[in-house]
Chains A and B, each alone.
Chain A
């Protein structure tokens, strides 16, 4: 099943296309000569469905290129989940604490063994970038629970 990637992708595309067309219909389509807000996305969604249908046909008839195989998935998975959690915790915890934790997790996943080194680098990175961007370059970053300190 080398073409599974293409099959999955085309079903996803068709799903998006149908969803967009339904959503666009609610926005009122108008006529081609007097288009309403929904007209343009409706048309693009339609083209998307047609293109994905062609890809699906190609996948079934055995043509197409298929997908690359996945390598070790656990590392990217941890990073993706870690980043999601980060985006939720960024405001409550503040930039410095959230970034330090994220950096420790990433470095740990990437085989840094010594905890002291790990924590040290992470702290330097988060505090250093905080002061560089927040103080020097005027790009204010969330302070979170450290608001009294910073």
Chain B
């Protein structure tokens, strides 16, 4: 009953006119950036960070969160109608969604993804509501050694789950940790790697690095070959899937929401990975896997349900342990810090209004999004008729304002450009960028908790293995790192036994 009472007070907060307005603005903006390819949720959240400085923290998180899960609703539209993912979590939706559109079934595809997103979102909010307080209670028992191990596990997960080779991911992670050390050292107050530049004493701005790598870097890649795109012209009649569709995909919806919710909780997990895993799972359990890639509605339903579920549940590690699991959540982490709120196990107790207000806003946000995306889908499709070159200019301007307004200095714009070029090069060399950005934010937490642990134990490094929770977390992290190695050794041995050269 406690939950219901808290939820009631949460709704009382979320239903105040201003919070309703901010929530609405968030989900509308989110849908828009989801629909428009090239501008992801992290860059949009970063852009709106300075706008939230003067809001109260609850409103800020309501709006920024709305952008993140709103984008999950919008992303499918572009994938289905254009065969271009509107944002990274809708990449797999292209496979079957676009095929459905070509078969004249764009309507049911769009309908299935909107309904699925809604269902996944609601399941995930309920999970967030029920699990977060008890997880925070566990988190309260964590001391510095547990935090050290948890951060290490989170980083390893981010590396493991990012695309490309684990080795390259680890290299990016180390780079990120090093970038995180720039500035005043937390324990001794010494200046590290500032090269005498006064602007760097406060550290490199996470927002600036993220926008450079993901915003500007992406634009640079896209400029190599300006693409010609064409909207698939189709009538959008009959948005609701028919009975036959439902018979096929109701189970996918449930599987997608469970899977998405679980993957979102993992450190390093999030919407993007969940959509891939959900698609793979559907293909595996299907009795007719050959239908996938040819317009199977399950192939739209599952990833779209999962990505929204994961977007919502990735708030769990942020609000209970203070560990952001992906880039969008990391941006919200920054927003909380700016408002003087340290995300961590104490957050739900110290700021119940924030926690329950945001939960209530998610219920409403998902309902709003369903309304925005089903009857109003035609409006969003109109957005897609904007030629890409105009979009590029808008993306660049948004990144510039976002970077400038962090500290109101042109220095940050220059830094963003440098990281944009770096992002372009590492993408060309097939290095994943996500581990770098996460490591940059988790690096200082890692260093501090490591130092505290060592002080606690009087210089004994075995403290990380002597405490049960900590040693389990480290074991999982070690296991994750060893699996790719083991797999490649096993593969090599088997291929040499069979006398096959790869």
Chain A interface residues toward B at CB < 8 A: 5-6, 8-9, 13, 16-17, 20, 23-24, 27, 31-38, 40-41, 44-45, 47-48, 51-52, 54-55, 58, 64-68, 70-73, 75-76, 79-80, 83-84, 86-88, 90-91, 99, 102-103, 106-107, 109-112, 121-122, 125-126, 129, 133, 137-142
One of B86-94, B134-142, B252-260, B413-421 contacting the partner: B413-421
Contact residues of B between 277 and 305, Cβ < 8 Å to A: none
In whole angstroms, what is the CA distance A68 to B414 when docked?
Answer: 26
The one of A16, A27, A99, A107 in contact with B190, judged by C-beta atoms closer than 8 angstroms, is A27
Shortest CB-to-CB span from A142 to chain B, Å, is 7
- Are B459 and A37 in contact (CB-based, < 8 A)? no
Please tell me if B130 contacts chain A, counting CB pairs below 8 Å. Answer: no
- Are B413 and A86 in contact (CB-based, < 8 A)? yes
Q: Which chain B residues border A24 with CB–CB below 8 Å?
A: 192
- Are A8 and B429 in contact (CB-based, < 8 A)? yes
In whole angstroms, what is the CA distance A36 to B454 when docked?
Answer: 12
Given contacts A13-B175, A45-B178, A51-B170, contact A87 B417 (CB under 8 A): yes
In whole angstroms, what is the CA distance A81 to B417 when docked?
Answer: 9
Contact residues of B between 401 and 429, Cβ < 8 Å to A: 401, 404-405, 408, 410-411, 413-414, 417, 420-421, 424, 426-429
Q: Which chain B residues border A9 with CB–CB below 8 Å?
A: 171, 426, 429, 431
- Are B175 and A16 in contact (CB-based, < 8 A)? yes
Please tell me if B472 contacts chain A, counting CB pairs below 8 Å. Answer: no
Q: Which chain B residues border A142 with CB–CB below 8 Å?
A: 410
- Are A35 and B451 in contact (CB-based, < 8 A)? yes
Contact residues of B between 141 and 183, Cβ < 8 Å to A: 164-165, 167-168, 170-171, 174-175, 177-178, 181
- Are A87 and B164 in contact (CB-based, < 8 A)? no
The one of A36, A52, A126 in contact with B171, judged by C-beta atoms closer than 8 angstroms, is A52
- Are A73 and B224 in contact (CB-based, < 8 A)? yes
In whole angstroms, what is the CA distance A81 to B164 when docked?
Answer: 29
In whole angstroms, what is the CA distance A64 to B488 when docked?
Answer: 12
Given contacts A75-B224, A111-B226, A111-B389, contact A5 B428 (CB under 8 A): yes
One of B102-110, B376-384, B390-398 contacting the partner: B390-398
Given contacts A48-B174, A67-B428, contact A41 B192 (CB under 8 A): yes
Please tell me if B4 contacts chain A, counting CB pairs below 8 Å. Answer: no
Shortest CB-to-CB span from B248 to chain A, Å, is 37
